[in-house]
Chain A
Amino acid sequence: MKVQAFITSGILEKYVLNMTTEQEVQEVLDMASQHLEIKEELAAIRQSLQGYILAHQVMPPANLKENSLSVTKSKRTNDIRSEPARPNRSYRKSAEKKPSSPSGTNYMGIASALLALALIAASFSAYSFYKDVERAGEEVEAAKAETASVEKQLASEEQRVKDLNTQLSFYHDRNNQLMTLAGSRRAPGARATVYWNKETTSAVIDVVKMPDLVSGRVAVIWVNTGRQTQKIGVLKPNNPGETTPLTFVANPDLFYVTEEISSDVERPNRSRILMTGSL
């Protein structure tokens, strides 16, 4: 009797449509594990819903198939694009041209004139040699100070490169799964990337463009895993090169960001979805 009442309550339909609370989800799972009728009822509801989805089929335009399947070729396209460019024939030809020698020039005359100029220059040089040495000493001191400053700057740049490399090694980790959170109608243009790593059980978010929020509100990040919804962080604008860590959740289905009155809320306000995305 209890089973029949549970079935007719409508909770199973809500469960299949993802409309149940976490408590109700648990209730359905418990009942399904205890009663075969409920398990069968769930399967029948899923089957009906599948029919409902299929009833909305529409023949896609011909080019859509080609465009959709082209994702398999993108690697090849990139490979082709990454081929080094062939040298430009006309450029090579002109580069290989030998310079033509001037003709009809009196080499002896030029040499004599250069020798005379060199002698005059040497006498001037001898005169100013002492002054130059004195000035050079001052320049060496200035150069030393400048070198120290450049070295300091270099050390700071090296540290920055080191930090960036650490970050890059994270970004380039082959175990990372990338997911773009795109702005909804409420926040068009908002964008962020989640780096989700199953191996290191870590996840971070890189905010490209923050959604516009009502004053005093916060943007909370949620993840759906099967029937569960979990809060995994609060969206904050990050500086270039910085990311915000998120709580790692195994097997996420859907990520989304909602606008909330506080970061302490326990359930998402689904009418204020700002961004969504899935792995």
Chain B
Amino acid sequence: MDIKQETLKKIADRDEEAFTQLFDAIGPTIYGLALRITESREKADKVVEESFSRIWRTASSYDPSRINPFYWIINIAKSAALENEARSDQFDFFAYQESNSIGSNLRDMLNSIDTKHRKVLELAFFRQMEESQIEQEMNIPVGTVATRLRLAIKVMRRVQG
């Protein structure tokens, strides 16, 4: 996905059309991320609204020399989602994603990662855990955490070509 710096510049200049285009481009990504972190449809809705509100309010402070636009937006969404973290065993993200699919072939990539490697990546990315916390959560040596992360990403790189 290629979010252009110009898009954020236009949003900073209060261009509503650019803002709408941004939602179309990255809305499903933010919604998926929000659902995965909050595990609640209600909270995920709130996170998406809050994220776009923050993007609209702070686009003028975006600094392209520090971070690319995609990760700038993802950081905003992640922080909004972590503030609304709910966690519920009732919610099955992948089942929900299946029924509200946007047909991304990237989903198959997830299945190609070994379950235990994928779990480490999930804890690191979606729950923002540190190595020592993952070590405790999964009961594995701290060195194994880094190895599993590396292997998970290596598989993704191979699958993505």
A9 to B149, CA, bound (A): 11
A38 at the B interface (CB under 8 A): no
Contact B153 A49 (CB under 8 A): yes
Q: Which residues of A contact B8 (CB under 8 A)?
A: none
A9 to B147, CA, bound (A): 8
A87 to B36, CA, bound (A): 52
A23 to B106, CA, bound (A): 34
CB < 8 Å: which of B48, B83, B124 contacts A276? B83
CB < 8 Å: which of B32, B146, B157, B160 contacts A57? B32
Known interface pairs A46-B71, A49-B153. Does A71 touch B56 (Cβ–Cβ under 8 Å)? yes
A11 to B102, CA, bound (A): 34
Residues 102-140 of chain B, each 1 if its beta carbon lies under 8 Å from chain A, else 0: 101011011000000000010011001111010000000
Known interface pairs A53-B74, A58-B32, A279-B61. Does A14 touch B100 (Cβ–Cβ under 8 Å)? no
Q: Which residues of B contact A254 (CB under 8 A)?
A: 75, 79
By beta carbon, the residue of chain B nearest A196 is B61
A253 to B33, CA, bound (A): 18
Contact B125 A276 (CB under 8 A): no
Q: For chain A, which range describes its interface: under 10, 10 to 19, 20 to 34, or 35 or more residues?
A: 35 or more
Contact B156 A48 (CB under 8 A): yes
By beta carbon, the residue of chain A nearest B65 is A251
A253 to B58, CA, bound (A): 11
A10 to B29, CA, bound (A): 26
Known interface pairs A10-B150, A44-B157. Does A184 touch B124 (Cβ–Cβ under 8 Å)? no
Contact B1 A50 (CB under 8 A): yes
Q: Which residues of A contact B49 (CB under 8 A)?
A: 64, 67-68, 71
Q: Which residues of A contact B83 (CB under 8 A)?
A: 182, 184, 276-277
Contact B75 A253 (CB under 8 A): yes
- Mark out the residues of chain A between 217 and 252 whose CB falls within 8 Å of any chain B CB in the assembled complex: 226, 251
Contact B124 A19 (CB under 8 A): yes
- Mark out the residues of chain B between 81 and 109 whose CB falls within 8 Å of any chain A CB in the assembled complex: 82-83, 85-87, 93, 96-97, 100-102, 104, 106-107, 109
Distance (Å) between the CB of A238 and the closest chain B CB?
A: 22
A54 at the B interface (CB under 8 A): yes
Contact B147 A60 (CB under 8 A): no
Q: Looking at A9, A52, A226, A251, which has the most chain B CB atoms within 10 Å of its CB? A: A52
By beta carbon, the residue of chain A nearest B108 is A55
A270 to B123, CA, bound (A): 13
Contact A59 B101 (CB under 8 A): yes
Q: Which residues of B contact A48 (CB under 8 A)?
A: 153, 156-157, 160
Residues 23-52 of chain A, each 1 if its beta carbon lies under 8 Å from chain B, else 0: 000000000000000000000111111111
Q: Which 3 A-B pairs have the closest CB atoms?
A: A10-B146, A55-B106, A56-B32
Residues of A within 8 A of B (CB): 8-11, 13-14, 17-19, 44-61, 64-65, 67-69, 71-72, 177, 182, 184-185, 226, 251, 253-254, 270-271, 273, 276-279
Task: Sample 27 A-B pairs with CB under 8 A, ordered by A number.
Answer: A10-B146, A13-B150, A14-B149, A17-B125, A18-B128, A19-B124, A19-B130, A51-B109, A52-B110, A56-B32, A56-B97, A57-B31, A58-B32, A59-B101, A60-B31, A60-B48, A64-B31, A65-B27, A69-B20, A71-B49, A71-B57, A72-B56, A184-B83, A226-B66, A277-B83, A278-B80, A279-B58
